[in-house]
């Protein structure tokens, strides 16, 4: 069992938990993730290791379905049944020169740890944090500290630059020479944003988020097509060369269980309401 040391709400539907997981904390590198299972009957879900502090790791997640909604109800002192990791290949950290890190929504959670490691490797790091509107923005202060320069963008202009992260990336590229780019966010955002760097031939990484079950290359559920070859995101990634990824195939596969996911969330919410009504805990 893994102790949740504290939990907070960071923004609309976005939560963070600090979990005591010494093995993961001592071995985690930028870009890696864990597979967690709340209890014996729970679904296994992958979450990026967003920060490490001593024996603890931070997980930041958006409450979008049954498991993440359940996770958002847990508080400091509660326990999670399983945390397996660190999993996946770490980010390719080396000296590139000037790097841009682009985060979309909750994908921003992955960036500070990458930013710190890139800077430690001697890179200049420019951050771009984008979200639909100001209420979904996360980690602005932390990214300000982790990057040499930070730009905020919102789709509706409620904070920072009015527009998409891709527009800001183009602006940054017009102002200075960029050597490597990371784009982490929803699949559609990564698909669109990485077009900004394709013609310029800038090395661009994306972190893919297909459905994962075991996280160890055994089940095949996370298969993606990269450069015309089948890859398992859990062991071959999750970071890949953005310009080689078949995003349409990825997005199609991510919708496979939409109906079941909706039903599962509805059942969980009904159960929670019933528990509240009867004074019991869910």
43 makes contact with ligand FES (CB under 6 A): no
186 makes contact with ligand FAD (CB under 6 A): no
31, 35, 59, 114 from 92: Cα distances, Å:
9, 21, 21, 9
* β-strand pairing of 161-162 with 149-154: parallel
Tokens (6 digits) for 96: 């590139």
* β-strand pairing of 98-104 with 229-232: unpaired
Minimum distance of ligand FES from residue 116's CB (angstroms): 27
Stretch that binds ligand FAD, among 18-26, 126-134, 142-150, 207-215 (CB under 6 A): 207-215
Chosen from ligand FAD, ligand FES, none, partner binding at 48 (C-beta under 5 to 8 Å by type): ligand FAD
60 makes contact with ligand FAD (CB under 6 A): yes
3 state SS of 91: coil
Beta carbon nearer to ligand FAD, 60 or 113: 60
Q: Give the number of other CB atoms < 10 A from CB of residue 219.
A: 15
H or E stretch at 165? helix 165-175
Options 4, 47, 57, 178; binder of ligand FAD; rule CB under 6 A: 47
Q: What would the x/- binding string for ligand FAD be over residues 125 to 164, using CB under 6 A?
A: ----------------------------------------
H or E stretch at 143? helix 140-146
Beta carbon nearer to ligand FAD, 36 or 98: 36
91 makes contact with ligand FAD (CB under 6 A): no
Minimum distance of ligand FAD from residue 176's CB (angstroms): 30
Phi-psi group of 122: left, alpha or beta (phi > 0 → left; psi -120 to 50 → alpha; rest → beta) = left
Minimum distance of ligand FES from residue 131's CB (angstroms): 28
CB 163 within 8 A of CB 155: yes
17, 86, 152, 193 from 166: Cα distances, Å:
30, 30, 12, 5
Q: Which one, of 76, 11, 72, 13, lies nearest residue 38 by Cα?
A: 72
Minimum distance of ligand FAD from residue 111's CB (angstroms): 11
Q: Which residue of this chain has its Cβ atom nearest to ligand FAD in the complex? A: 65
CB 104 within 8 A of CB 185: yes
Q: What are residue 113's phi and psi, to 5 degrees?
A: -70, -35
Beta carbon nearer to ligand FES, 169 or 234: 234
Q: What would the x/- binding string for ligand FES be over residues 180 to 219, using CB under 6 A?
A: --------------------------------xxxx-xxx
Minimum distance of ligand FAD from residue 45's CB (angstroms): 4
Minimum distance of ligand FES from residue 123's CB (angstroms): 30
Q: Give the number of other CB atoms < 10 A from CB of residue 218.
A: 11
Chosen from ligand FES, ligand FAD, none, partner binding at 254 (C-beta under 5 to 8 Å by type): ligand FAD
Q: Which one, of 34, 111, 38, lies nearest residue 69 by Cα?
A: 38
234 makes contact with ligand FES (CB under 6 A): yes
Binding site for ligand FES (CB under 6 A): 212-215, 217-222, 232, 234
């Amino acid at each position: 069992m893994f102790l949740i040391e504290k939990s907070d709400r960071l923004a609309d539907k976005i939560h963070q938990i600090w979990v005591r997981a010494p093995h993961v904390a001592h071995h985690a590198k930028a870009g890696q993730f864990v597979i967690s299972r709340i209890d014996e009957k729970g679904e296994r879900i992958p979450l990026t290791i967003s920060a490490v502090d001593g024996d603890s790791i931070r997980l930041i997640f958006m409450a979008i379905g049954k498991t993440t909604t359940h996770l958002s109800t847990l508080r400091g002192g509660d326990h999670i049944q399983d945390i397996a990791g660190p999993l996946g290949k770490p980010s390719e950290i080396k000296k590139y020169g000037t790097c841009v890190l682009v985060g979309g929504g909750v994908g921003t959670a992955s960036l500070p740890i990458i930013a710190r490691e890139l800077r430690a490797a001697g890179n200049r790091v420019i951050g771009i944090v984008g979200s639909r509107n100001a209420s979904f923005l996360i980690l602005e202060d932390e990214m300000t500290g982790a990057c040499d320069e930070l730009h905020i963008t919102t789709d509706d202009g409620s904070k920072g630059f009015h527009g998409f992260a891709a527009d800001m990336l183009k602006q940054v590229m017009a102002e200075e020479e960029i050597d490597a780019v990371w784009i982490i966010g929803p699949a559609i955002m990564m698909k669109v944003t990485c077009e900004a760097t394709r013609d310029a031939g800038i090395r661009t990484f994306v972190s893919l988020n297909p459905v994962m079950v075991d996280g160890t290359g055994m089940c095949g559920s996370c298969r993606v097509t990269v450069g015309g070859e089948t890859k398992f995101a859990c062991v071959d990634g999750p970071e890949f060369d953005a310009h080689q990824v078949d995003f349409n195939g990825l997005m199609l596969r991510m919708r496979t269980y939409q109906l079941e996911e909706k039903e599962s969330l509805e059942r969980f919410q009904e159960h929670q309401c019933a528990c509240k009504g009867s004074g019991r805990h869910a």
